Amino acid sequence: MAAPRVPAGTGEAGSQLWRAVVGTFALEKSDLELLRQAVSVADHCARLESLVKNTPPVIKGRLNQMMPNPAWVELRAERRLLLALLGGLGLTANSVEVAEPKKKGGRYL
C-alpha cells in the first residue's frame, strides 16, 4: 500500500514531519487526521519561530509595563499543542527524526 501523500498546502516543517511519521510508523486511518492537524501546527510553529527570531521574549505593554511578547506566548502554546497531538499518535518529540529525509527503495520518502 502506498504511503499517504502530504496534504496540499502543507509547508516545509509540516511536510518533513508528515514524511518522517508516515515513513516510520504504520498509521490507522483515524491517526491520519491527528497527523494532519500536527503538521498544520508544525507549520504554525515554524512561522512563529521565524517571527520571534529577532524579537525579545519580554516587551513593554501599553502602560509601559514589562509583559510577555504575545508571539512568544503563542509559540509556546502551539508547541504544547504539537506535543499533545503527537502524544495522541503515541509518539514523543524524540520519536520522529525530521532532520534528514529517509530513503526507501532508493527513493526519498
Compute the Cα dihedral for 96, 102, 108, 109 and give only its sign: negative
d(CA 51, CA 69): 11
Residue 53 resides in a domain: yes
pTM of the model: 0.80
Residue 5 resides in a domain: no
Do 34 and 7 form a contact (C-beta atoms < 8 A)? no
Model pLDDT, residue 26 = 86
Helix (H) or strand (E) holding 67: strand 66-68
User: pLDDT for 42-94, tens place per residue?
Assistant: 999 999 999 999 999 999 999 999 999 999 999 999 999 999 999 999 987 67
Residue 60 resides in a domain: yes
Residue 51 resides in a domain: yes
Average pLDDT over residues 5-22: 95
Residue 106 resides in a domain: no
CA nearest to 97, candidates 9, 25, 11, 7? 25
Residue 43 resides in a domain: yes
Helix (H) or strand (E) holding 107: strand 107-108
Model pLDDT, residue 7 = 94
Domain that residue 58 falls in: 12-97
By DSSP bridging, strand 107-108 and strand 58-60 are unpaired
Number of domains in the chain: 1
Residue 73 resides in a domain: yes
